[in-house]
Structures are given as structure tokens and as C-alpha cells.
Amino acid sequence: MKNVTWLFFFVVISISVVACVTPKQYAALQSDINNLNYRIDSTNSAITYIWYSLDNVDVKLQNLKEEQINRLNDYMLQTDSLVATQEDLFDIRKRLSTVETHLKTAGQGFAPAKDQEVVKKKRTPY
């Protein structure tokens, strides 16, 4: 019974409010409602555009991230290659040092050029 009373009260108030509105006021209210609907539609369009823009930005950021990761991987490979080259050079130096040591211990050493020997023979001691 209480619900019926509230419903009746609501219907009476609604009819009273509608009856108090003149056609001129109704037209003004309808115009305001149309303007609000237009603004809501414009806002929805703007929000949709912003969401699409954010999606594009997200895709671009993901592409940049992948590009940076690829560059970093390339640099790391180049660095590994340079380190390997340095190790190879160190290995070659070590081998040359070993060969030099073997030549010196074999009594051969590094033979001077023939021109130097000739110069030594031509010199006269003081």
C-alpha cells in the first residue's frame, strides 16, 4: 500500500510540473536538451578520437621499444665481436712472444740485416 501511495504522489507531482510548463518553456527546454545531446555526441567523438590517438601512440612506443632492443642487441654483438678480436690479438702476441723466445734460446736471435753487417766490417776501431 505504501508503494502505491508513493506512485500516486509521483504521478500527481509529474502531472503538476508538466501542466505548469508553457509551450514556450517546453520549446526552450527541448532546445536545451538538443544542445546537451549535441555536446554529449561531440564529447563522445572527441573521447573516441583521443582513444584512437592513444592506441596509435602506444603502437608507436612499442615499435620504438622493439627498435631500441634490436639496436642494443646489435651493439652487444659488435662488442662481443670486438672482445673476441682483442682476445685473438692477445693470443697472437703471446704466440709471437713464444716464437721469439724459442729463436733467442736456439742461438739464432733476430739476424741483423746484411747492410748492417757490411757497415760494421768497414768501420775501423779508434
pLDDT tens column, 102-125: 777 765 545 555 555 544 555 555
Task: State which residues form the domain around 34.
Answer: 14-101
Please check whether residue 109 lies inside any domain of the structure: no
Please check whether residue 52 lies inside any domain of the structure: yes
Reported as a single tens digit per residue, the pLDDT across 5-25 is: 777 777 777 776 666 667 777
Which pLDDT score, from 0 to 100, does residue 118 have? Answer: 47
Please check whether residue 106 lies inside any domain of the structure: no
1 C-beta neighbours (distance < 10 Å), count: 4
Please check whether residue 125 lies inside any domain of the structure: no
Please check whether residue 97 lies inside any domain of the structure: yes
Please check whether residue 115 lies inside any domain of the structure: no
What gap in Å lies between CA 5 and CA 8, rounded to an integer? Answer: 5
List of residues 6+ apart from 100 with CB closer than 8 A:
110
Reported as a single tens digit per residue, the pLDDT across 64-73 is: 999 999 999 8
Half-sphere exposure of 35 (CA within 13 A, CB side): 6
Number of domains in the chain: 1
Please check whether residue 90 lies inside any domain of the structure: yes
What gap in Å lies between CA 88 and CA 116, rounded to an integer? Answer: 35
Question: Helices (H) and strands (E) in the chain — how many of each?
Answer: 3, 0
> Can you give the pTM of this predicted structure?
0.39
Please check whether residue 48 lies inside any domain of the structure: yes
